[in-house]
Amino acid sequence: MPSEGGEAVQLTRTGPREGFFSPDGKLIYYLYLNQEGIWSVPADGGPETQVIEKGSLTTGWALTPSGIYFLDDAADSRAAIIFYDFAGRRLRQVATLPYERKVRPLIQTIAVSRDGEWLVFSQQDQINSDLMLVENLR
């Protein structure tokens, strides 16, 4: 819906998640819950377009004015940060992460500095849980 108010307009019909406006506000980029890829749709409506075939809700990604950074854990035996360049419409590996993909930590957030010099990501190294017994519960 327009920021000044008005009628809400449905842009997609098949359940996308985690959307972000492009820097110029003309497109919305998003992921699907159970489908690989990063998609876009015009902010004022129109057809959906698959921009990148890789990327999912289980991996982190960041939208910048020049392109999209995302985690690719299928590139080879190591996980990698990949950059999709809007101008050249090409993928380029920008970093290899220091662990094998089969034991990689959970990474769901990537952020890039405004000047494009720094990329940070959060990772969850361990997931632990315990079962507890409560006796004499009434």
Does a structural domain hold residue 116?
Answer: yes
User: Which structural domain, as residue segments, surrounds residue 95?
Assistant: 16-124
Query: Domain holding 47: CATH number?
Result: 2.120.10.30
Does a structural domain hold residue 11?
Answer: no
**pLDDT confidence of residue 127:** 72
Edge-to-edge, what's the strand order for the sheet holding 16-21?
Answer: 16-21, 27-32, 35-42, 49-52
Does a structural domain hold residue 131?
Answer: no
Does a structural domain hold residue 66?
Answer: yes
**pLDDT confidence of residue 63:** 92
Total domain count for the chain? 1
Closest among 42, 18, 48 to 30, alpha carbons compared: 18
Question: Tens of pLDDT along the chain (138 residues)?
Answer: 777 888 887 787 777 878 889 989 999 998 887 778 889 999 888 899 899 987 655 568 899 999 999 887 664 566 788 899 999 999 999 988 776 555 555 566 788 998 888 988 877 666 778 888 888 877
- Residue 130 DSSP symbol: -
Helix (H, G, I), strand (E, B) or coil at 74: coil
Does a structural domain hold residue 132?
Answer: no
**pLDDT confidence of residue 27:** 94
CA–CA gap between residue 123 and residue 6 (Å, rounded) = 40
**pLDDT confidence of residue 86:** 93
Does a structural domain hold residue 59?
Answer: yes
pTM of the model: 0.76
Does a structural domain hold residue 136?
Answer: no
- Beta-bridge mates of residue 94: none
CA–CA gap between residue 70 and residue 126 (Å, rounded) = 22
Does a structural domain hold residue 31?
Answer: yes
To which H or E segment does residue 28 belong?
strand 27-32
